Structure 1
Amino acid sequence: MSMYRKAITLTKQQNDWVKGQIESGQFGNDSEYIRHLIRRDQQAQERLATLRQALAEGESSGESKPLNISAIKAAGRRRMNT
């Protein structure tokens, strides 16, 4: 995997936070922490895209039907008893 050097600017508060994360032993250096944050953001964006797709599919699946709460509860009780 190719690596690229980036220069970033942080506020004192942000820099202190990063240092704290490293001092806690969770990360070896600034780069590890920044890569961790990027991975988390990528995962969050993927989850958001999946959710948006599911919402779009639901909206385009046709007219909704009224919910029968009693039937839903009864089905849940049956599942719990098996």
Structure 2
Amino acid sequence: MSSINISLPEVMQAFVEEQVVQGGYGSISEYLQALISQDQKRKAQNKIEEDLIAGLESGEVIEVNDEWWEQKRTHLINQLHEDK
């Protein structure tokens, strides 16, 4: 694992140290790793939401029901057989 040195104003350092104690973290590094992990998850979730919205706005609206899925399944199976 590599390390990063950061400089914080005293007020922020005190806040971080308080969060470590209150949050039950073993160290400042653990606390910062948790914050970074939460940020990564949040950004991944935002990307998924953006992709879903783009998909919804990308074309004609169709109703997806059991019949549609069966047609899709049949089409994909036929494609597989044609590719062989």
Counterpart of 1:18 (choices 9, 16, 19) is: 16
Moved over 3 A (4+): none
Distance 1:37 1:43 in 2: 10
Q: How does 1:1-82 map to 2 (within 5 A)?
A: 3-62=1-60
Q: Normalized against structure 1, the TM-score is what?
A: 0.68
Structure number, greater radius of gyration: 2
Distance 1:49 1:43 in 2: 10
Matches of 1:13 and 1:51, distance apart in 2: 36
* Alpha-carbon RMSD: 1.4
C-alpha spacing 1:23/1:61, structure 2 compared with 1 (3 Å): same
SS at match of 2:53: helix
Q: How many residues align?
A: 61
Provide structure 2 residue ranges, at least 5 long, that are not aligned to the other structure: 62-84
TM-score relative to the length of structure 2? 0.66
Amino acid at match of 2:33: R
The whole-number CA distance in structure 2 between the counterparts of 1:8 and 1:47 is 28
Q: Secondary structure at the match of 2:4?
A: coil
